[in-house]
A and B are shown apart, each in its own frame.
Chain A
Amino acid sequence: MAFVEIKNVSYVYPLREGVSLKAIKNLSLQIEAGEFVALTGMNGSGKSTLAKLLNGLFKPSEGEILVDGISTSDDKRVFDIRKKVGMVFQNPDNQTVATIIEDDVAFGPENIGLPREEIVERVDSALEAVGMSEYRKKQSSKLSGGQKQRVAIAGVLAMRPEVLILDEATSMLDPAGREEVMAVVKKLNAQGITVINITHNMEEAALAKRVVALRKGRLAIDGTPSQVFSSGLLSSCGLALPPAAALAKDLKEQGVDICLATTEDSLVEGLCKLLK
């Protein structure tokens, strides 16, 4: 059995009397331990709803989700699920609980009653992983949005989750911050954490080993970045190719003999072959 098993799941939001909204429709998906998945789709496609279903914040209206064999619908096990599945949301301001940064990162480990040395060790490594060690004694209110988000990620890392879900966690960061966070995420994945990165940014999606796109609450595409980019299905999901891939496609359409590229480097490689 896969680490995350999503079996025929639907989720309905009650909006107001007599009106509801089916955000996830009969979705089935397996994610193995250690995978790096980009979950993508346009605003309203159901990505964030799915993320909240994965750590038991929402319970499926139909179907079932198993994380490491535990059903998210089992109320008694919800804290086990949340320990396994750490989530970083879009807006860091909603995730800050303490005024001083190291206290904020220590909040989770303190809550599960870890010994002091272990807490210190976890806070140290989590802050280091996001490049915020030098700020540990500062007030979080003094940080920029990007820095706050890195602290929020550190707070989740300090819980040593098995699955890390990033819900557009980089969308407010500047390019340097985004790169830094993605480097951290890649490193964590290499160390064994399963990563589910929710993003509209196709350059970021290309960093994953697998891209899953949702469309109107259903699974639309599932494959490697190059499979997904060459599928021609992205636009039907309201998504666009990353600039380098779009350029390769345009050149090909103009009769240039070039492969579809997923990254700038592969585009440059293809062009060099043609131009030299």
Chain B
Amino acid sequence: MQAVEIKNLSYIYSKKTPNEKLALDNIDLSVEEGSFVALIGATGSGKSTLIQHLNGLLVLQNKKRSSVTVNGMSAANKKTLRQLRYQVGMVFQYPEYQLFADTVEKDIAFGPKNMKLSAEEISERVKRAMEVVGLNYAEFAERSPFDLSGGEKRRVAIAGVIAMRPKILVLDEPVAGLDPIGRAELLSLIKKLQKEVSPTVILVSHNMDDVAALADRIIALKDGRIVADGTPKQVFGDRELVADAGLDIPAAARIVDKLAQRGIQLDKTIITMEELKAALLGLLGKTGTEKFQAATLFSDEVNAEERGDGSNSSESDPIERRSSSNENALSIEDGEGGGKDV
């Protein structure tokens, strides 16, 4: 089943003014339910414009020619627009700036309340959403979201979106501004959300390492057009395509290219550091490759946390671990919590 179906979508900003800009140019796109799509492209390539069409935040400029359909509902149909918005959860850049309620619980409950759910259902959804994002209910529910650390605030904001149980989760640069551990945690959280809440994920990202490790499909935009569409290996492996589309490549692929320039040829479809490590060890005649687990980029970074904080190393889920360390009362070391959003 198609979660998203877009036909002939164009969008022009400031139409008929000197600032007129064609942001989307005749986009045709369908996204299969259950896929993890990375939407990439330079600043100004049309990514944000495209995702804002998915829940009707931007309205079709030509309803006769273009169409946007989400789970069978047209974004142009006002009668089903509310329903459609419940199904597309949008996590914008720096979503913590949108927190507004005086407690974490009220903030997360805002969406479900608007859906006119029963009080029990709302409470159940808030608890579940907090559990999924790794915020302990007893500890966080009554706290002000503004007293939390940056990473915690962001998880409250995401909980507010997933409490509406969207079928499609759209995230615009969700890890921007987080430290390496916060990034690793949030990226594994997104994988978990796909499994447990929203089967279809659309991730807007500039980080090609994240994209290579997470997505099963890449859609690249340039000047409002789709210039590449395929699996990460297909897209990044085709260096001509990458160059034509003006895309960045993952660090591992960049190193492969630098080695090739020096006469050392490796497989061009290497896109993660784990793959590169295995290939290099093979080339160096080290028989250690079978020792590698199919670890992802992120489990590596999570290991760094374990080394740093040995007390929690027995737990396997990084999110759980973060929440348990949060139980150590109001952490005095959260120095920037109050200053960050001034």
Contacts and interface: CB of A to CB of B under 8 A. Distances in A.
Interface of A: 11, 13, 15-16, 19, 21-24, 41-49, 52, 58, 90-91, 138-139, 142, 144-147, 168, 171-177, 200, 202, 216-217, 234-241, 243-244, 246-247, 250-251, 254-256, 264-265, 267-268, 271-272, 274-276
Nearest to B256: A268
Contacts of B178: 43, 200
Contacts of A15: 147, 330, 338
Contact of A243 (B14, B184, B273, B339): B273
B252 A238 contact: no
Contacts of A246: 273, 300
Contacts of A174: 42-43, 206
A249 to B, nearest CB: 10
Contact of A21 (B42, B258, B332): B332
Given A142-B19, A243-B273, A275-B283, A147 B43 contact: yes
B58 interface: no
A264 B251 contact: yes
Interface in B228-247: none
A235 B259 contact: no
A216 B331 CA distance: 10
B195 interface: no
Contacts of A44: 149-150, 331, 333-337
A254 B14 contact: no
B173 A172 contact: yes
Contacts of B276: 247
Contact of B339 (A23, A91, A237): A23
A90 B234 CA distance: 35
B177 interface: yes
Interface string B144-168: 0001011100000000000000000
14 contacts: A21-B334, A42-B180, A44-B149, A46-B333, A49-B336, A175-B208, A216-B333, A238-B181, A240-B184, A243-B273, A268-B255, A268-B258, A271-B280, A276-B263
A177 B335 contact: no
The listed residue with most A CB atoms (<10 A of its CB), out of B97, B173, B284, is B284
B131 interface: no
A142 B17 CA distance: 13
B43 A177 contact: yes
Contacts of A202: 180
A46 B335 contact: yes
A236 B255 CA distance: 28
The listed residue with most A CB atoms (<10 A of its CB), out of B14, B43, B286, is B43
B259 A45 contact: no
B94 interface: yes
A241 B151 CA distance: 20
A235 B286 contact: no
A42 B151 CA distance: 10
Interface stretch (B26-34, B74-82, B303-311): B303-311
B287 to A, nearest CB: 10
A255 B335 contact: no
Interface in B31-69: 42-44
A254 B278 CA distance: 11
B308 A235 contact: yes
Contacts of B342: 52
